[in-house]
C-alpha cells in the first residue's frame, strides 16, 4: 500500500549552492498525491512544483525542478532520497526559498525525522515501474544503465585523481532498510581544486567544511575525516536513489552508474519513459513491495546513522 508521514516534520538550514537560509516543512499528503514542492515565498505565480523527472532542468551539480511558470526548487535529491529510502510515497514539501536545506550534506537529518515520526499506510494500492529490458546512456566516458531486477539495486563506480577518493565501487540491494543504514549519512563531496570554479559560477555559496567532504590530494580537509572509507561512492549512490525517485513511482530494476551524475540519471529516466516497451507499471504484490526501499526500516537502524 501507499504511505505518507504521520505528521509534519520541519527543518531549518541554508541552501548549499545559494547560501540562503531556508525553512522546510514536509507534510503528510493524501493517497495518489505523490511528492510536490511548494514555494511559500512565491505569491505572484504558480508555486507548486511536481517532483518528476520531466521537470528537471540543466543546472549543474544538483537536481533542480521547474514548473511551467518558471518557479523552481533546487538540490532536491537528498530529501527525495530520504523519502524514497524510508518508503514515503505521498508528501507536500513546503519551502520559503528556492533550495532545499543542505543540512550536513546528506540525508541523515531527513531520515532521522521521518523514521522517528513514522509512516502511515494508506488505503491505496502502490504501483511500481518494472524495468523490462536494458536502457543505457553513455557520455564522455560515463555511463548509466537500468536493467531488470526484482527490486531496486544500485551499483556504482567512481574514479577521481585525488588519492583520498581514487577508485571506489559499491553495489547494494536497497531492501530491508539498506538506504538508512548504508547510505543516508554519506555526505556530498568536492575537490578543493574545484571550489574556486564553483564559486565563480555562483555555486556552493553555502558550502562549508561541515556540510561537505572536501579533499585535496591525499588529505580529507573536513573536520573528523570520513564517516566511511568509501563515503564518496556511497554519496553518489544516495544521489542516484534521490534522482531515480523522480520517476514518480518506485523502480523495480538495477541501476548501474559509472562516473555518472544527476544529469545522466535524468537522461536515463527520459530514455526509459520514451520507450514503452522497456517498462510497465505494475501493482505491487506483497512480495514485490517487500523488496522496495523503506520496507523493513526500523528505529534501531538510526543507531548506525551519523
Binding residue numbers for Zn(2+):
78, 235, 239
3-state secondary structure of 101: strand
- C-alpha 157/C-alpha 151 separation (Å) is 20
Written as nine digits, the cell of 205 is: 555559496
Catalytic residue among 17, 89, 157, 262: 262
First to last CA, the chain: 30
CA distance 159 to 166: 5
Active site residue 199: no
| Burial class for 302, CB neighbours closer than 10 Å (0-12, 13-18, 19+) | middle
DSSP H helical ranges for the chain: 77-85, 108-117, 178, 192-200, 231-244, 262-273, 286-289
Whole-number Å distance between alpha carbons of 262 and 17: 15
DSSP 3-state assignment of 60? coil
Distance from C-alpha of 195 to C-alpha of 145, rounded to nearest angstrom = 30
The C-alpha atoms of residue 84 and residue 78 are separated, in whole angstroms, by: 10
Buried b vs exposed e over 169-197: b needs ≥16 C-beta within 10 Å?
Answer: ebebebbbbbbbbbbbbbbbbbbeeebee
Binding-site residue numbers are 78, 235, 239
**Closest residue by Cα to residue 107 from 185, 26, 190:** 185
Cell of 183: 547510505
Report, as residue numbers or ranges, the catalytic residues: 262
Amino acid at each position: 500500500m501507499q504511505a505518507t508521514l504521520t505528521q509534519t516534520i520541519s527543518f531549518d538550514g541554508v541552501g548549499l549552492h545559494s547560501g540562503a537560509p531556508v525553512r522546510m516543512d514536509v507534510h503528510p499528503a493524501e493517497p495518489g498525491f505523490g511528492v510536490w514542492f511548494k514555494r511559500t515565498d512565491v505569491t505572484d505565480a504558480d508555486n507548486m512544483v511536481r517532483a518528476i523527472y520531466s521537470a528537471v532542468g540543466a543546472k549543474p551539480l544538483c537536481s533542480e525542478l521547474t514548473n511551467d511558470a518558471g518557479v523552481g526548487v533546487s538540490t532536491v535529491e537528498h530529501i527525495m532520497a530520504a523519502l524514497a529510502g524510508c518508503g514515503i510515497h505521498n508528501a507536500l514539501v513546503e519551502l520559503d526559498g528556492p533550495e532545499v536545506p543542505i543540512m550536513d550534506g546528506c540525508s541523515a537529518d531527513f531520515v532521522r525525522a521521518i523514521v522517528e515520526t513514522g509512516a502511515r499506510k494508506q488505503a491505496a494500492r502502490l504501483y511500481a515501474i518494472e524495468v523490462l529490458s536494458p536502457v543505457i546512456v553513455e557520455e564522455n566516458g560515463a555511463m548509466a544503465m537500468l536493467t531488470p531486477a526484482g527490486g531496486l539495486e544500485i551499483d556504482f563506480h567512481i574514479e577521481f585523481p585525488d588519492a583520498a577518493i581514487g577508485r571506489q565501487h559499491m553495489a547494494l540491494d536497497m531492501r530491508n532498510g539498506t538506504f538508512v543504514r548504508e547510505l543516508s549519512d554519506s555526505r556530498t563531496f568536492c575537490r578543493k581544486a574545484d571550489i574556486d570554479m564553483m564559486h565563480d559560477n555562483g555555486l556552493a555559496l553555502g558550502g562549508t567544511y561541515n556540510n561537505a567532504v572536501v579533499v585535496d590530494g591525499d588529505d580529507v580537509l573536513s573536520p573528523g575525516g570520513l564517516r566511511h572509507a568509501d563515503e564518496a561512492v556511497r554519496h553518489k549512490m544516495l544521489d542516484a536513489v534521490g534522482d531515480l525517485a523522480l520517476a514518480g513511482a518506485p523502480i523495480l530494476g538495477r541501476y548501474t552508474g559509472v562516473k555518472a551524475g544527476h544529469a545522466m540519471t535524468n537522461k536515463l529516466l527520459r530514455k526509459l519513459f520514451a520507450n514503452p516497451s522497456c517498462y510497465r507499471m505494475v501493482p505491487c504484490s506483497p512480495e514485490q513491495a517487500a523488496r522496495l526501499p523503506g520496507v523493513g526500516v526500523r528505529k534501531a537502524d538510526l543507531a548506525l546513522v551519523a
